[in-house]
Amino acid sequence: MRRIEDGVPVPRVYLIALPSGPDNQLEILSPAVYRKQAERNKETLIVGLAGGMSEARQVVCQIAGDVYRLTGTADIRSFFAGTTFVK
């Protein structure tokens, strides 16, 4: 994450984040998109990292399955809203 935030190219890395809009549960971002959002002072909560798009899709499925198994719902945003993160 430090390299991404510093603008160092990190090939084949994707970030899984909670979206800013209410329509989606999770979104997959490239480091460049993440940095553009940060430049616009848009806070983005990163909940996962992946090496490649295929792995990013697997991580999204894993997060969705884990949230459903733990809570009985598919409300990923609420699950992470109650979680404390250390930066």
pLDDT score of 23: 85
Q: Which helix (H) or strand (E) holds 73?
A: none
- Tokens 């697997």, located at residue: 58
Residue 17 sits at φ, ψ, to 5 deg, of: -135, 160
| pLDDT of 85 over the 70 cut | no
pLDDT score of 54: 97
Alpha-carbon gap, residue 78 to 75, rounded angstroms: 6
Q: Where are the domains of the chain?
A: 2-81
Q: What is the pLDDT of residues 19-55, one digit of tens each?
A: 878 888 999 999 999 988 888 877 888 999 999 999 9
Token code pair at residue 11: 């090939």
pTM: 0.83
CA dist 78 to 3, 11, 53, 56, Å?
Answer: 29, 31, 25, 21
| pLDDT of 84 over the 60 cut | no
- Tokens 């940060």, located at residue: 38
- Mean pLDDT score, 4-24: 89
pLDDT score of 6: 86
Mapping DSSP to helix (H, G, I), strand (E, B) and coil, where does residue 74 land? coil
pLDDT score of 15: 96
